[in-house]
Amino acid sequence: MASRLTKLLLLTACAAGISAPAWAHAHLEMSLPASGATVSSPAVLSVGMSEALEPSFSTISITDSAGAPVAVGDPQVGGEGGRQLSATVPKPLKAGLYHVEWHVLSKDGHRTAGKFDFTVAP
């Protein structure tokens, strides 16, 4: 009986270990500008994720401190393994605080979202 229970527990543990990657979500690994950084006006906004992204369902946007949207180029997925989402910032940003918000769909079908702030120095 104990042997049968041990085998069942081992099989369950192995199955959980094998299927764990299917439950993974794309997690933020880096951002450009870095969260909380004070920088010159960036030419590009970028987030690097832990999983490959689905380009058609991944977005990145920016607003100023008053909440007004700032125009950015169409988001592009690239980088190693298609894990980076980027958008160009066509016009220089004025000095101040900016809020970046991103929403991604990883290739495994999981949605993840997040946000961070950065400051443009005068």
Mean pLDDT of 54-72: 96
Query: From its phi and psi, is residue 2 left (phi > 0), alpha (psi between -120 and 50) or beta?
Result: alpha
Three-class SS state of 109: coil
**Mind listing the pLDDT tens digit for each residue in 70-114?**
999 999 999 999 999 999 999 999 999 999 999 999 998 999 999
Find the angle CA(57)-CA(111)-CA(119) to the nearest 5 degrees: 80
Are residues 100 and 119 in contact, defined by beta-carbon separation less than 8 angstroms? no
CATH topology of domain 25-120: Immunoglobulin-like (2.60.40)
99 forms bridges with which residues in the sheet? 63, 117
Are residues 25 and 106 in contact, defined by beta-carbon separation less than 8 angstroms? yes
pLDDT at 19 over 90: no
- What single letter denotes the amino acid at residue 33? P
Q: pTM for the complete prediction?
A: 0.78
Mean pLDDT value across the chain? 87
